[in-house]
């Protein structure tokens, strides 16, 4: 299985500031013939299921605020929240779907 490793494990950011979460896969999740990275980002709040934020590494899901963006290719990816809002406090997960789906361990985002 592809191992997904996120950094940091936890992050505290001031309201209005930028938050950056990194995700590294143990092998490339870029499907060259499709030119697509099989990588998604999810947000999970307490007592709720994960919510899809980003798919194909950089495409924002409908209804997701544009302060959320995804970037990267191959094995290194980043989720950026450009201006942190109080409602963004959550755990964030990356997930690859290049092969048998696997998730990162999660990054807990808090307000500083």
- Residues of the shown chain interacting with other proteins in the complex, contacts defined by CB under 8 A: 1, 36, 38, 40, 42, 48-52, 55-56, 59, 61, 93, 95, 97, 100-103, 105-106
Tokens of 32: 């060259």
What is the closest distance, in whole angstroms, from the C-beta atom of residue 84 to other proteins in the complex?
23
Count of residues making up the chain: 112
| Residue among 65 and 101 whose Cβ is closer to other proteins | 101
Minimum distance, C-beta of residue 97 to other proteins, in the bound complex (Å):
5
> Can you say how many angstroms the Cα of residue 108 is from the centroid of all Cα atoms in its chain?
11
Terminal alpha carbon distance of the chain? 36
């Amino acid at each position: 299985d592809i191992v997904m490793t996120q950094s940091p494990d936890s992050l505290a950011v001031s309201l209005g500031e930028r938050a950056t979460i990194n995700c590294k896969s143990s092998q490339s999740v870029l499907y060259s013939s499709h030119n697509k990275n099989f990588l998604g980002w999810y947000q999970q709040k307490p007592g709720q299921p994960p919510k899809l934020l980003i798919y194909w590494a950089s495409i924002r899901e409908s209804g997701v605020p544009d302060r959320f963006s995804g970037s990267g290719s191959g094995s290194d990816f980043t989720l950026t929240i450009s201006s942190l809002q109080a409602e963004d406090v959550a755990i964030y997960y990356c997930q690859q779907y290049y092969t048998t789906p696997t998730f990162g361990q999660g990054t807990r985002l808090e307000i500083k």
